[in-house]
């Protein structure tokens, strides 16, 4: 039987190597983040985060072995079951969860705390993949085919929102990449991106200038448009789009002041001008930028960071772990991390594209999209390009739940990919 071939032969070693590299770099930086020159502890000491992270890495390895051993069909077959279990856990956590940092999102089992929200990514990915594996589903023709997807996304999102973990909920935005690949019209993500861009531009510049610029650009577009396109309604489409954009620009004020909550507004304003609230919301951004900026080209050296020690940057070993890389290893270090992520995500996209089954491809895109969204928001937040949203940097940030969930997410895909030569295309 083909399936008796060792899994090691078919698994994608490039992804595995990047994964191991990320874990090791992350672990060393967690040690640097918690390192205290006065009371030095070993990086294997279980009393500090680095030691604990090593334990999480060890257990993640066990999980990976389990995943690779379990038959690949299991995941597709039990997709909805896994989804149901996670939804159940999300409900349970609302009532039985322990309160950590203001969000009731942790389940304590003995000495270990687990965050079901972390596993909701996996569950949603599997559920969406399973749903889209039906070849009859078409995302570019039938609107009613979107309804189940909306349901799959909305249920956990609502539960996560109730437990006050907005960051984890926003991750669901990453599924837009999957849906786009599977046929969602391009204008939907385009509208999202343009809307976000307009929001930020509006906050930075005078509204009338932006409106003027939009009209000028619209005029140019109409002028350069092929005559045929113009006649076929391109003229009116452009004019409507331009007016819609101007509407957004003037709606931003309303949106900022009446729709967003105060702390959310604060996070967006701080993104634009961190000094507006240097001791409050701006503190994290300023300290984070100081830490990264002070690293220079080559950094201060391993364990030589000063900003990331002594509690200047909050959440150093978890959400702001990238600061430690930036301060101690400089631009070279951060560039390596950025390259690792871009390489990993691109490789996952390539792997996803070579899948024969639609389930596998969709799931591959889900994995790539989730990792990409985490990378986009987490790194963007530390360098002041994104609002402060508390989500971890995959494989780097300290934390068992996140490490486990990313590892499981990734290696289920690797397992499926490893079986690719033996599966038949169904979609």
Minimum separation from the CB atom of position 129 to another protein (A): 16
* Shortest Cβ 163–another protein spacing (Å): 29
What is the total residue count of the chain?
A: 427
Q: For residues 252 and 192, what is the distance between their CA atoms, to the nearest angstrom? A: 14
Instruction: Give dist(CA 361, CA 363) in Å, integer.
Output: 5
Alpha-carbon distance of 271 to 290, in angstroms, equals 15
The distance of closest approach from Cβ of residue 110 to another protein in the complex, given in angstroms and rounded to an integer, is: 33
Distance CA 147, CA 150 (A): 5
The smaller minimum CB distance to another protein, of residues 165 and 361, is found at: 361
**65/332 with CB nearer another protein:** 332
Is 295 or 390 the residue whose CB approaches another protein more closely? Answer: 295
Residues that bind another protein (CB under 8 A): 36-38, 177, 180-183, 186, 289-290, 292-297, 300, 304, 306-307, 309-312, 326, 330-331, 334-335, 338-339, 341-342, 345-346, 349, 353, 365, 372, 375-376, 379-380, 383-385
Shortest distance, CB of residue 307 to another protein, whole angstroms?
A: 6
Structure tokens that stand for 271 in this block: 């993104």
- Cβ pair 94, 159 in contact under 8 A: yes
* 26 vs 384 by CB, closer to another protein: 384
Question: Closer to another protein at the Cβ: 105 or 307?
Answer: 307
Q: How far is the CB of 191 from another protein (least distance, A)?
A: 15
Cβ-based nearer residue to another protein, 209 or 310: 310
Question: Which residues have a Cβ under 8 Å from the Cβ of 217 and sit 6 or more positions away?
Answer: 242
Q: Specify the residue, 355 or 405, whose C-beta has the smaller distance to another protein.
A: 355
Cα–Cα distance, 145 to 317 (Å, whole number) = 42
User: Do 106 and 118 contact (CB within 8 A), yes or no?
Assistant: no
Least distance to another protein, CB of residue 98, Å: 27
116-132 and 400-418 are packed helices; what angle lies between their axes, rounded to 10 degrees? 20
Are residues 163 and 96 in contact, defined by beta-carbon separation less than 8 angstroms?
A: no
Residue 368 Cβ, how far from another protein at the closest point, in Å? 8
Which of residues 150 and 297 has its CB atom nearest to another protein in the complex?
297
Nearer to another protein, 242 or 345 (CB): 345
Structure tokens at 70: 């379990």
- How far apart, in whole angstroms, are the C-alpha atoms of residue 25 and residue 42? 16
Q: What share of the chain is helix, strand, coil (3-state, %, to 5)?
A: 70, 5, 25
CA distances from 104 to 94, 107, 401 (A): 6, 9, 15
Q: Closest distance between another protein and the C-beta of residue 297, in Å?
A: 6
On whether the CB atoms of residues 358 and 135 are closer than 8 A, the answer is: yes
Minimum distance from CB of 155 to another protein (Å)? 26
CB nearer to another protein: pick between 58 and 296: 296
Phi and psi at residue 107, in whole multiples of 5°? -110, 130
d(CA 52, CA 47): 7
- Residue 342 CB, nearest distance to another protein (Å)? 4
CA nearest to 333, candidates 22, 49, 40, 108: 22
């Amino acid at each position: 039987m083909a399936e008796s071939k060792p899994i090691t032969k078919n698994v994608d070693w490039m992804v595995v190597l990047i994964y191991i590299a990320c874990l090791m770099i992350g672990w060393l930086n967690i040690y640097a983040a918690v390192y205290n020159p006065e009371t030095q502890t070993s990086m294997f000491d279980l009393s500090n985060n680095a030691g604990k992270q090593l334990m999480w890495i060890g257990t993640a390895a066990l999980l990976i072995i389990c995943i690779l051993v379990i038959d690949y069909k299991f995941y597709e077959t039990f997709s909805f079951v896994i989804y149901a279990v996670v939804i159940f856990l999300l409900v349970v956590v609302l009532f039985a969860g322990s309160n950590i940092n203001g969000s009731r999102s942790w389940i304590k089992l003995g000495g270990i705390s687990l965050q079901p929200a972390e596993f909701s990514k996996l569950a949603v990915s599997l559920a969406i993949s399973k749903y889209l594996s039906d070849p009859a589903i078409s995302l570019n023709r039938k609107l009613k085919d979107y309804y189940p997807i909306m349901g799959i996304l909305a249920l956990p999102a609502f539960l996560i929102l109730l437990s006050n973990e907005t960051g984890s909920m926003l991750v669901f935005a990453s599924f837009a990449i999957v849906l786009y690949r599977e046929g969602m019209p391009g204008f939907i993500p385009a509208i999202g991106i343009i809307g976000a861009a307009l929001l930020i531009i509006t906050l930075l510049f005078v509204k009338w200038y932006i409106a003027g610029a939009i009209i000028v650009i619209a005029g140019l577009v109409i002028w350069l448009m092929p005559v045929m396109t113009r006649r076929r309604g391109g003229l009116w489409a452009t004019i409507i789009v331009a007016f819609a954009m101007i509407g957004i620009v003037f709606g931003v004020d309303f949106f900022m002041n009446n729709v967003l909550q105060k702390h959310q507004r604060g996070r967006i304003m701080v993104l634009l001008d961190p000094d507006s609230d240097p001791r409050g919301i701006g503190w994290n951004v300023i300290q984070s930028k100081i830490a990264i900026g002070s690293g220079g080209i080559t950094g201060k050296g391993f364990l030589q960071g000063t900003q990331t020690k002594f509690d200047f940057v909050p959440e150093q070993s978890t959400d702001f772990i990238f600061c430690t890389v930036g301060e101690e290893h400089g631009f070279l270090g951060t560039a390596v991390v950025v390259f690792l992520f871009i390489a990993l995500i691109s490789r996952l996209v390539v792997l996803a594209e070579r899948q024969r089954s639609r389930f596998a491809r969709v799931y591959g895109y889900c994995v790539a999209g989730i990792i990409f969204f985490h990378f986009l928001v987490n790194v963007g937040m530390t360098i002041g390009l994104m609002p402060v949203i508390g989500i971890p940097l995959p494989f780097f940030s300290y934390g068992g739940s996140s490490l486990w969930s990313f590892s499981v997410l990734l290696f289920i895909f690797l397992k499926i990919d490893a079986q690719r030569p033996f599966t038949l295309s169904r979609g």
